[in-house]
Amino acid sequence: MDFDTTSRRTSAGVHYHEAGPTGAATVVLLHGGGPGASAWSNFGRNVPVFARQFHTLAVDQPGYGRSEAGTITDHYFTHAADALAGLLDELGLERVHLIGNSLGGGTAVRFALRHPKRAGRLVLMGPGGLSLNVFAPDPTEGVKRLMAFAAPPGPTREKLAAFLRTLVHDPSLVTDELVEERFQAATDPAALRAMKAMGASFTDPARYEEGLLWREAHRLRNEVLLIWGREDRVNPLDGALVALKLIRRARLHVFGGCGHWAQLERFDEFNRLAIDFLEGEGQ
């Protein structure tokens, strides 16, 4: 059975897409970062698949898509985790499973650490903050391309396309249409302000350590599925090693021939793997 997807916005300015049976367990999809990112851009194709089994929410994180950024005074992961908690409060949802890609993985981990009773199982795909490069250089190629986007003389389609190509193993996924769609979203003045504020939260000495989630990974008591693309050039595969060692109930799945977007490059396999894991609660 396929379910219609609705688009809503909370009183606090958090935008989300909702699908699936409301009486089922809830899964929250948290997208990655980068210029022009949004819940639908990252997970639009996956939502109908997950909605067959789960009440599914694909959430625009603060400052992305159609969500307001708010005033980012904490580290972005903390800010986004609290925005998610507010969304769940408004919807009357006490406990949810979380799927987080990159930036969204960092938000999912911070949410689970701040609200342990509200977080069920975690699917983390090349998660930001939890990934710690053991062998790969830092910053990585993908992070360098990300930082270059808004650097002087300013954003260009060429810089955006170069960044997007670091996200995938198959460059044919980076179409002209995708570049144009994300460029229009990324160069909106509000989006540029939000990106600047978010970036500042990652480099501010007063907030920097909040983003080092690997330091707190041992506190997680959730069942965690780490998913990595072997060819990930944003958060390379060696970044999984510390998390895998520190998280008590972790398992790791690696897709060969796959970059940072496992949910798209390994669409069918990713969906089956994640759904089987999420349905395994209580085993």
- Mark out the alpha helices in 103-232 (DSSP H runs): 103-114, 141-149, 157-165, 176-186, 189-203
Structure tokens at 159: 């810089």
d(CA 28, CA 57): 5
The Cα–Cα gap between 52 and 63 comes to: 29
Between CA 27 and CA 4 the distance in angstroms is: 16
| Dist. CA 150–CA 144, nearest whole Å | 11
Give me the count of residues in the chain: 283
* Cα(119)–Cα(114) distance, integer angstroms: 9
- The residues annotated with a catalytic role in the active site are 260
Q: What is the rounded CA–CA span in Å between residue 155 and residue 140? A: 20
Identify whether the C-beta of residue 183 lies closer than 8 Å to the C-beta of residue 157: yes
CB 39 within 8 A of CB 50: no
**Rounded to whole angstroms, what are the CA distances from 37 to 106, 139, 182?**
15, 20, 7
With CA atoms as reference, report the closest residue to 266 among 240, 228, 224. 228
